[in-house]
Amino acid sequence: MKKSINLLFILPMLLLAFSCTDLDVPIASSYTSDVFPRTESEFAAVTGPVYVHLRSNVALEHFYMQELTTDEAVLTARGADYYDGGRYLQLNLHTWDETHPFLGGIWWWSYRGISLCGEILEALSNAPESAFKEKTIAEIKAMRALFYFYAMDNFGNVPIAPPYGMVELPSQSPRAEVFNYIENEIKEAIPHLTKDNTMSNYGKPTYWMAQALLAKLYINAEVYTGSARYTEAIAACNEILNSQSNGAPVGFALEENFMKIFDVDNGPHIREIIFAVPFDQNFGANGMRLGRFPLHPLLRVNYGLPTTISVGNCLSTWADFYYLYDEESDTRQDTWLAGLQYYLDGSPVMDGTYHVDLDPEIAFVNIETFDRGRSPQQIAQGARNVKYTPDGTWTSSRDSRNDFVLFRYADFVLIKAEAILSGGSDPLGESALDLVNQVRTIRKTEPYNTVNIESLFEERSREMAHETWRRNDLIRFGKWESPWGRDAATGLPVKTNNEVYRRVFPIPQNELASNPKLVQNDGY
C-alpha cells in the first residue's frame, strides 16, 4: 500500500524529468495551448512538484523551529558534538536572530511552495474544462493556503505573492490581511475538494484537510488578527468530527493503538490521519529522520537497526514536560523512552558496567554550550520521544518510512473543546468535558470530572507532543514567555527570555538583502 501511494508522488517527478532538461524552467512554460494536461496522470505530472516540495523541509527544519523553541524538546551537545555553532541552543534559549540558518530554510520552504502553486495554477488555467481540472485547481489552492499559513504563523506580516508572471518584488501585508487571504483561498477551494477519504487521495488536500486548516486558522484568530473566531473554529471542527460523504460516515475516529498512528507502516488505513506527508526510502524520502535523533546507540537492536547505522542520541525533552505523563496506564507513555533500559529479551542495556538509565533530569556540565558531557551516564540523560518509531529498514541515508502527520482527528476534538471553553457556540451542544474525556478514555486515562483551560492545555501537551504544534499552542495559551528547561545541576530554569516580540521569527537576513521592500519585524 505504501509503495502504491508513493508512486503517486514519484511519478510526477519522473515525468517532469523526461519532459524538460532545464529544471529551472517554470512549470507553466512546459504547457502550451496544444499541450494541456487532460488525463489524471498528466495532471499528476504538473502538480507533483508541490507535494515533493512539502516533503523537503517539513520533518527537519520545520520540526526544529516548532519544537526546539518550546519546553517540549531540547537538543543538547556532547562535548563538541551537536554544538553546531550554537544553532540549537539559540532556539532553546530564544536568542536567535535574522542570521539563524533554519529561518532561511523555512522561509524558502514556504515561499517556494507558494511560487510552485502559482506556476501550476497558471499552467492549468487554460486547460480544457473538466471535473478533474476543477478538483486539481482546488487542491493546489489549498496547498498554497497551507504554505501561506506556515509563513504567516512563523513570520507575522508577510508578502502576498503577486500574480504569476509579474516580476515586481512584493511588500509585506499586515498579518490580518494575510489571514483573510488564506481564509478566502480555503473557502474558494472547499466546494471543489473531494470528501473521498481513500488511498487515491492520501497525501493530497481533501474537503477534510481544508476544514482542518480552517480550524487552525480560526482557533488562532485572536493571535493573528486581534479578533476571536471561536464559533467558526467549532463549525470547522464539526465538519471533521461528523464527517460524511454521500450520507455515509467517512471513517475518521480516535485510534485505539496510539503508536500505530505514527509507525513506519502508517498510511490511509489509520483512521485518525486527516492529512499526512508520505515518506518512503525508495520514493523520495527526503529527510524523514525523526526516529534517529533521540535514540541511544545501544537501543538500536530493539528496533532492528544495524550497528553500521549511526543514531543521534541528542534530542530529548525537558524533565518537567515529561512529568506531565503522570498516569501509568496512559498509552501515550509508549512514545517515551525513560528510566532503566532493557533489551527485548529482558536483559539490561549495559554501557560497560553502567546500566543505561535515561534519567529525565538533564544536568549540564557547561550551560554556555549546552554540553551534558560524554560519560556513559551523561550521554544517557533525558527522556526520549520515539512517537515516530525508528525504522528497522534504515539504509545509510537514515531516512524512514513513517508518514509525517500534519492534521489528525484528536487534535480537532481538543480544538473544539478549547473553542467551547473560550466562549464559542456549538450548535450541537457538546460539552468541552465530554470532548476531552473522549481522548482521555481511549488513551486509557481516568476521565476528568471538570475541565478548564489549564487542564485542557495539559491534555493537548500529552496528546500532541512532537507533532510541530507546540510553539503555536504556547503562544495561543499565553505561555510562550514563561521560563522552562530546568538544569538539574543548579535547579534553575534554562530558558528565561520573555521577549514578547519573539512570538514571530525575524525576516531572514538574505531575504531582506534581496528584497528592499521587506521591513524587519519589531524587536529584531
Q: 15 or 289, which is more confident?
A: 289
Enter the C-alpha cell of residue 417: 473543546
Query: Would the pLDDT of 7 be above 90?
Result: no
pLDDT for 244 equals 67
Query: Would the pLDDT of 265 be above 50?
Result: yes
CATH number at residue 416: 1.25.40.10
In a domain, 187, yes or no: yes
Query: Would the pLDDT of 397 be above 90?
Result: no
pLDDT for 12 equals 42
Residues 66, 104, single domain; the answer is yes
Residues 94, 220, single domain; the answer is no
In a domain, 419, yes or no: yes
Give 245's pLDDT tier (boundaries 50, 70, 90): low
Query: Would the pLDDT of 9 be above 90?
Result: no
Residues 54, 183, single domain; the answer is yes
Query: Would the pLDDT of 260 be above 60?
Result: yes
pLDDT for 10 equals 41
Arithmetic mean of pLDDT, 321-346: 97
In a domain, 287, yes or no: no
Q: 460 or 306, which is more confident?
A: 460
CATH number at residue 40: 1.25.40.390
Give 374's pLDDT tier (boundaries 50, 70, 90): very high
Task: Report the C-alpha gap between 462 and 424 in whole angstroms.
Answer: 24
Residues 187, 161, single domain; the answer is yes
Radius of gyration of the chain (CA): 23
Mind listing the pLDDT tens digit for each residue in 143-191? 999 999 999 999 999 999 988 878 889 999 999 999 999 999 999 999 9
In a domain, 7, yes or no: no
Nearest to 224 by CA among 299, 290, 174, 261: 174
Nearest to 205 by CA among 137, 262, 306: 137
Residues 187, 47, single domain; the answer is yes
Question: Strand, coil or helix: what is 411?
Answer: helix
Average pLDDT value over all residues in the chain: 90
pLDDT for 4 equals 46
Q: Which structural domain range is residue 336 located in?
A: 297-385
Give 205's pLDDT tier (boundaries 50, 70, 90): very high
Residues 381, 236, single domain; the answer is no
Domains identified in the chain, total number:
3
In a domain, 446, yes or no: yes
Residues 144, 211, single domain; the answer is no
Arithmetic mean of pLDDT, 193-215: 94
Arithmetic mean of pLDDT, 428-455: 98
Last residue of a domain, one of 323, 354, 385: 385
Mind listing the pLDDT tens digit for each residue in 443-492? 999 999 999 999 999 999 999 999 999 999 999 999 999 999 999 999 99
pLDDT for 435 equals 98
Give 284's pLDDT tier (boundaries 50, 70, 90): low
Cell 514567555 sits at which residue? 481
Arithmetic mean of pLDDT, 227-236: 98
Give 282's pLDDT tier (boundaries 50, 70, 90): low
Enter the C-alpha cell of residue 355: 546500566
Residues 166, 47, single domain; the answer is yes
237: phi then psi, degrees, rounded to nearest 5: -60, -40
Task: Report the C-alpha gap between 330 and 324 in whole angstroms.
Answer: 11
Reported pTM: 0.93
In a domain, 244, yes or no: yes
Arithmetic mean of pLDDT, 78-88: 93
Which residues contact residue 167 at a Cβ distance below 8 angstroms, ignoring those fewer than 6 apart? none
In a domain, 517, yes or no: yes
Residues 120, 238, single domain; the answer is no
Q: 413 or 21, which is more confident?
A: 413
pLDDT for 352 equals 97
Specify which residues 173 forms β-bridges with.
Answer: 158
Least confident of 39-43, 61-65, 285-289, 430-434: 285-289
Task: Report the C-alpha gap between 240 and 470 in whole angstroms.
Answer: 22
In a domain, 399, yes or no: no
Residues 59, 139, single domain; the answer is yes
Residues 270, 313, single domain; the answer is no
Residues 176, 257, single domain; the answer is no
Query: Would the pLDDT of 16 be above 70?
Result: no
